[in-house]
Amino acid sequence: MAREAGPRRPATPVPRVAVTLTVNDVDHRLDLDPRVTLLDALRDRLGLTGTKKGCDQGACGACTVMADGRRVLSCLTLAAQCEGRAITTVEGLATGGVLHPVQEAFVRHDAFQCGYCTSGQIMSAVCLLAEGRAGSDAEIREFMSGNLCRCGAYPNIVAAIREARDRVGAGGRDA
Given a contact cutoff of 8 angstroms between Cβ atoms, the answer to whether 79 and 41 are in contact is: yes
Average pLDDT over residues 49-67: 97
82-140 confidence digits (pLDDT tens): 999 999 999 999 999 999 999 999 999 999 999 999 999 999 999 999 999 999 999 99
Looking at residue 169, what is its pLDDT? Answer: 56
Q: Which residues of 124-153 are buried (b: 16+ CB within 10 A; e: fewer)?
A: bbbbbbbeebbeeeeebeebbeebbbeeeb
Specify the pLDDT at position 175.
Answer: 42
31, 79 in Cβ contact below 8 A? no
CA gap 70, 50 in Å, rounded: 18
Q: Which pLDDT value is given to residue 49? A: 97
- H/E stretch holding 66 reads strand 64-67
Checking if the pLDDT of 80 tops 90, the result is: yes
Query: Could you tell me the domains of the chain?
Result: 17-92 (3.10.20.30), 101-167 (1.10.150.120)
- 173 has a pLDDT exceeding 60: no
**What number is the average pLDDT over the span 68-79?**
98
What is the rounded average pLDDT for all residues in the chain? Answer: 93
Find out whether 163 and 140 touch, Cβ atoms under 8 Å. Answer: no
- Residue 10: its pLDDT value, please? 77
In the prediction, which pLDDT does 170 show? 39
Q: Report phi then psi at 92, rounded to 5.
A: -95, 5
- pLDDT of residue 5 exceeding 90: no
- Statement: residue 166 has pLDDT above 70: yes
